[in-house]
Amino acid sequence: MNHAFCKLIQMDELPAIKIKHPRFNAILLLQGAQLIEFRPQQNQFENVLWLSPSAQYKLGSPIRGGIPICWPWFGNLDKNPDSIQDQVDNKTSASAHGFARSMPWQIKHIQEDCHFVEVTLSLSSDSTTKELWPFEFELEAKFVLSNTLKFALVTSNTGSLPFSISQALHTYLPTQDIKHSFIHSAQNSTYIDALDSWKEKQQVGKVSFSGETDRLYFFEDKEYSLRLETPTQSLLINNKNSQSAVIWNPWVEKSKRLSQFSPLDFQKMLCIETANVLSDAKKINAGEQIEISVELAIHSSQ
Ligand code: TA6
């Protein structure tokens, strides 16, 4: 790899692109096009993303942290609309959050200059993916890294049949203390509570955390921003072509059932996931493409 700021490294079983740029450092795994570290100078080169201290880098196994890509379905298949469930022949072996995050992606394009680095990885349908999901597609994960992190996932339907997807950019974020962390700008939104029989509820005020939290929020606009306030930082999460977001913290009991996760990790992380889920799932006709994107920008840090 002959680039000024990017080099190919190996993390246990997984190849990755390590980027050392004057404005930031980053690590992007080729498996799942999973960004696991983004360390901007503005954040004293600390990771803006949460990455499990017990992360394992094994072929075919998702890594706990960074921004896993949930595609071509979010969550458990049986919690998706029928239009998505009916596309999968072997439902019982369908992995949670789809298969894109466990597959080897290819480097499609790298562009770098003194202001930013742009990396595009791609995943195209083949005999392996068609066993899991019988459609022709090309996925592109486009990262534009500078003082901010911009990440767009583009789905192209390269076949002759329409297909439907649900998806999420499953962003893990750090906090000094989950009990003093709040998410603003979701007030008055409707959400589905996955921990209370998937009942529909209304968000009153800012989102706070005092127990396991697993909620699917819905917004009127296709562009919306959320602000995460932690004891040491304020982070803007700007979303496009998404009218839903998943907010998750496993708390004590679920933490015991999670891989690559220690019992007290829940105190130092949360997920804010830019999504197209449930009523915001997407149908893509032959020859068409859709894009979902997120930008993370530090608003202020103490
Ligand atoms: O996004 C929230 C969620 O669906 C939780 O229910 C939990 O399962 C989490 O994703 C992590 O899923 P994973 O398969 O990565 O362990």
Q: Is the CB of 67 under 6 A from ligand 1?
A: no
Alpha carbon of residue 260 to chain centroid: 17
What pLDDT, on the 0 to 100 scale, is given for residue 1? 78
* Atom number, ligand 1, closest to the C-alpha of residue 74: 4
pLDDT grade for 193, boundaries at 50, 70 and 90: very high
* Percent of the chain whose predicted confidence (pLDDT) is above 90: 97
**pLDDT of 244 higher than 90:** yes
* Atom number, ligand 1, closest to the C-alpha of residue 96: 14
* Atom number, ligand 1, closest to the C-alpha of residue 168: 1
CA 20–ligand 1 middle distance (angstroms): 30
C-beta separation of 80 from 95 below 8 A = no
CA dihedral 250, 254, 256, 260 (to 10 degrees): -50
pLDDT in tens, 55-64: 999 999 999 9
Q: Is the CB of 75 under 6 A from ligand 1?
A: yes
Of 51, 78, 170, 195, which is best to mutate to test ligand 1, by the most ligand atoms within 8 angstroms of its C-beta?
170
Question: Cα separations (Å) of 202 from 189, 199, 226?
Answer: 6, 10, 16
What pLDDT, on the 0 to 100 scale, is given for residue 248? 98
* Atom number, ligand 1, closest to the C-alpha of residue 246: 1
Helix (H, G, I), strand (E, B) or coil at 155: strand
Average pLDDT, the chain: 97
**pTM of model > 0.75:** yes
What pLDDT, on the 0 to 100 scale, is given for residue 276? 98
Q: Is the CB of 215 under 6 A from ligand 1?
A: no
Question: Cα separations (Å) of 252 from 185, 213, 241?
Answer: 27, 11, 33
**pLDDT of 299 higher than 90:** no
CA 107–ligand 1 middle distance (angstroms): 27
pLDDT in tens, 100-138: 999 999 999 999 999 999 999 999 999 999 999 999 999
Segment (H or E) for 217? strand 213-218
**pLDDT of 149 higher than 80:** yes
Q: Is the CB of 214 under 6 A from ligand 1?
A: yes
pLDDT in tens, 72-81: 999 999 999 9
Alpha carbon of residue 58 to chain centroid: 19
What pLDDT, on the 0 to 100 scale, is given for residue 40? 97
- Protein residue with its CA nearest to atom 15 in ligand 1: 64
Q: Supply φ then ψ for residue 78, to 5 degrees.
A: -75, -5
Q: Is the CB of 174 under 6 A from ligand 1?
A: no
What pLDDT, on the 0 to 100 scale, is given for residue 72? 98
**Pairing between β-strand 172-174 and β-strand 167-169 as defined by DSSP bridges:** unpaired
pLDDT in tens, 29-49: 999 999 999 999 999 999 999
Of 169, 195, 214, which is best to mutate to test ligand 1, by the most ligand atoms within 8 angstroms of its C-beta?
214
pLDDT in tens, 200-221: 999 999 999 999 999 999 999 9
Please name the residues in contact with 201: beta carbons below 8 A apart, sequence gap of 6 or more.
190, 191, 192, 193
pLDDT grade for 20, boundaries at 50, 70 and 90: very high
**pLDDT of 301 higher than 80:** no
Mean pLDDT, to the nearest integer, of 134-143?
Answer: 98
Say which residue the tokens 């005999």 belong to. Answer: 127
Of 56, 97, 244, which is best to mutate to test ligand 1, by the most ligand atoms within 8 angstroms of its C-beta?
97
CA 255–ligand 1 middle distance (angstroms): 11
Which one-letter amino acid corresponds to residue 148?
T
